[in-house]
Amino acid sequence: MKAYFNGDGHAWRFVGAQWPESLPQGVDVAHEAFVRRMQALLEAGDYQRARRELEESAEARLIHEGLVQGALHAIDLVVVTDIADAAALVDIGLMVRDDTFAERAALRLVAIKGYPLSSLYVLVSRIYAGRRRYREALMAATEAYQLDGASDDIACHLGVLYQNLGRPVTALSLFEAILGRTPCHLGALVNSGVSFQNMGRAHEAIARFARACELDHNNTVAHYNWIAALIGAGFTERASGLLARLKATDDASGQMVSTLRAQTMERDGMYEDALASLEPWIDKALYSQSLVVYGHVARRCSEAKAAMAADTIERWRAHHEGVTSPAEIRAILFALGSLYDRISDFDRAFECYKSANNLVPDRFDRQSVDDLLTSVRSFCARSALRREESYDETMIFVVGMPRSGTSLMAQILATDQNTGSAGEIATIGRIASELSGGVIARYPAMLEALSDPEIARYRRAYKESLGAASEFLRIVDKMPANFQFVGIIMRLFPNAKIIHMRRDWRDTCLSCYCQDFSGRHPYKYRLADLAYYYRVHESMMEAWKDLYGDKIITVGYEDLVFHFDQTTREVFQFVGLPWHEGARAFFRNKARCVTSSYQQVKEPIYTTSVGRWKMYEKHLTDLE
């Protein structure tokens, strides 16, 4: 076999010659074209492009179906003595999901004099990742990073592993370090955008994806992520404009374009059209995201279509569970749970929700929450309400637990022509983190010492984060987690109004448990933690009301849906707005809603969510 190699690094010449004979009979014309294209690349020794073709081409599905195993055997006969070729063989082994072959190729590198040990650890890490053994992959990648932390590629690989393990904050720190050294590193730009997206920081994600697309107009991954982030942030018109310019060149890109198009249709309430866009791709789904969107759309249609979607996704799950990342499986499980809920199969629905939540490691720190509650109570007990003048009469903050009606209230308030909803602004929480040095429980003690220049600086920072909403006379910030930071709000904006949304604690906790949130919600993955967090939220709001009673109104979700006119009149009066008949038509409001409640606020008031916990009562013993 060495005669074919000739020591010039083109072991692919032999591989290319063997490739056609390795294929089974009956492969159609498109598949044959793919094989010929690969053969030409291999014969030319262009293994990098061959690897890219394998990764990006729609015909990569052939590989996953094992139609080129003969080619693998041919590759395995090559005696590898060139570093680049050996690394490429590892990649090919992983692409065809033959990790045993990949491991053999990697081990050959040990004998190559001068091969960097850090690079070997990366290859071992990638083999483990190919087996979906992410913890072992992380250990190997960490070894590589310790040996060569200055390598952008090693840091990026480590960051992607943290991303797959559901640790976007740690991943982001690695990507940011890369961009500090290499501002145009495409991998770090795209993956940092994914981290921001997973942390619920949509605007920063959009900026990163846009920058990656600006640097590389042909980067399809960056373009798809950019459009998806725009859709998730409610910028459907802009997303549709970009989507219209995307050209589907093969099945893979065609499926992704159809998935993104279906997401925009779903946002616009065009459920049947969205389903029609997805259905041609479902049986050959290359991306789990397509199935997740399919599940969400089918749930909005008939029970029959929801049941059909559940069956389809279950078949995919049976085939891919164990060979797909935990993040993908989690999204699939949440989609399945919502479908079973739609067809009233509540036992199976809960099992899916529970399995999805259990995929997230338990990182809820009760002690830090306790410490914050103690600090808030101490602050409220010793502080006096400041009555200073300010320009902030326009600020309205809607707070409470997630899934308590905050999005609905913001949408109702935004029916006033002079009021705009800024969505969920994370700036107040970041100010708390800065004040406390990252230990949130310390922030209340810092409030009294804030100087006028510091207050002015934080006000400016907050105003700058409002975006287009700053053009309105009155602004609604509906970040639920701001219930923790009422002290900061009142210190910066003493004349602000705070609306505390409150919903039956069982419905609230169940709804959080069944939701695949973006952002950081460590309390939501275990029912006992959810109940505990809800009680802390209640205690904290009681403390704030003792100090800022006339600045806070509590609104029951049940009161809102059963006694809409009376409740909204009280709220409008509290915030200083004239009530108007158009408030009843809040669902026609074109204001963007970027939270998981985006569909609910586009429909008239309904009461079916009240008492939903009763359907799952036997599963909720941990809430007690």
Q: What is the pLDDT of residues 433-442, one digit of tens each?
A: 888 888 889 9
pLDDT of residue 366: 93
The predicted model gives 12-18 an average pLDDT of: 33
DSSP, collapsed to helix, strand or coil, labels residue 46 as coil
Residue 571 has pLDDT above 70, yes or no: yes
pLDDT tens-digit map of 283-295: 776 678 889 999 9
Facing residues of 419 across strands?
Answer: 474
Residue 425 has pLDDT above 80, yes or no: yes
pLDDT of residue 328: 84
Distance between CA 59 and CA 115 in Å, rounded? Answer: 33
Distance between CA 205 and CA 605 in Å, rounded? Answer: 32
Best CA proximity match to 159, nearest among 168, 147, 148, 150: 168
Which of the pair, 522 or 93, is modelled with greater confidence? 522
Is residue 534 within 8 A of residue 512, CB to CB? The reply is no
Helical segments of 131-201, H only: 134-147, 152-164, 168-181, 186-198
Confidence of residue 469 (pLDDT cuts 50, 70, 90): confident
Residue 221 corresponds to which tokens in the numbers above?
């991954």
pLDDT of residue 182: 93
Confidence of residue 354 (pLDDT cuts 50, 70, 90): very high
Distance between CA 353 and CA 347 in Å, rounded? Answer: 10
pLDDT of residue 20: 35
SS3 track for 541-568: HHHHHHHHHHHEEEEEHHHHHHCHHHHH
Distance between CA 550 and CA 162 in Å, rounded? Answer: 45
Lowest mean pLDDT among 41-45, 174-178, 221-225, 474-478: 41-45
pLDDT of residue 616: 96
H/E stretch holding 501: strand 497-502
Count CB atoms within 10 A of the CB of residue 178.
22
Which of the pair, 482 or 140, is modelled with greater confidence? 482
Residue 2 has pLDDT above 60, yes or no: no
The CA-atom distances, in angstroms, between 321 and each of 318, 324, 327 are 6, 6, 11
Is residue 474 within 8 A of residue 493, CB to CB? The reply is no
Is residue 481 within 8 A of residue 400, CB to CB? The reply is no
Best CA proximity match to 587, nearest among 410, 419, 425: 410
Residue 362 has pLDDT above 80, yes or no: no
Confidence of residue 158 (pLDDT cuts 50, 70, 90): very high
H/E stretch holding 382: helix 366-382
Is residue 477 within 8 A of residue 491, CB to CB? The reply is no
Confidence of residue 144 (pLDDT cuts 50, 70, 90): confident
The predicted model gives 147-174 an average pLDDT of: 87
Place of tokens 């409640």: 597
Confidence of residue 44 (pLDDT cuts 50, 70, 90): low
Highest mean pLDDT among 275-289, 464-478, 594-608, 609-623: 609-623
CA angle 549, 552, 554 (to 5 degrees): 110
The predicted model gives 237-252 an average pLDDT of: 80
Which of the pair, 402 or 139, is modelled with greater confidence? 402
Residue 610 corresponds to which tokens in the numbers above?
């009240």
Q: Which amino acid is residue 33, in one-letter code?
A: A
Distance between CA 170 and CA 176 in Å, rounded? Answer: 10
Class of the 400-623 domain? alpha beta
The predicted model gives 480-487 an average pLDDT of: 95
Is residue 171 within 8 A of residue 191, CB to CB? The reply is yes
Burial class (CB in 10 A: 0-12, 13-18, 19+), 318: exposed
Burial class (CB in 10 A: 0-12, 13-18, 19+), 25: exposed
The predicted model gives 572-592 an average pLDDT of: 82
Best CA proximity match to 28, nearest among 70, 53, 48, 58: 58
Residue 232 has pLDDT above 60, yes or no: yes
Lowest mean pLDDT among 249-263, 282-296, 588-602: 588-602
The predicted model gives 391-407 an average pLDDT of: 86
Distance between CA 439 and CA 40 in Å, rounded? Answer: 58
* Residue count (the chain): 624
pLDDT of residue 148: 86
Confidence of residue 3 (pLDDT cuts 50, 70, 90): very low
Which of the pair, 399 or 255, is modelled with greater confidence? 399
Best CA proximity match to 199, nearest among 383, 424, 465, 505: 424
Facing residues of 420 across strands?
Answer: 475
Distance between CA 343 and CA 355 in Å, rounded? Answer: 19
Confidence of residue 517 (pLDDT cuts 50, 70, 90): confident
Lowest mean pLDDT among 91-105, 373-387, 482-496: 91-105
pLDDT of residue 41: 63
Reported pTM? 0.71
pLDDT of residue 197: 84
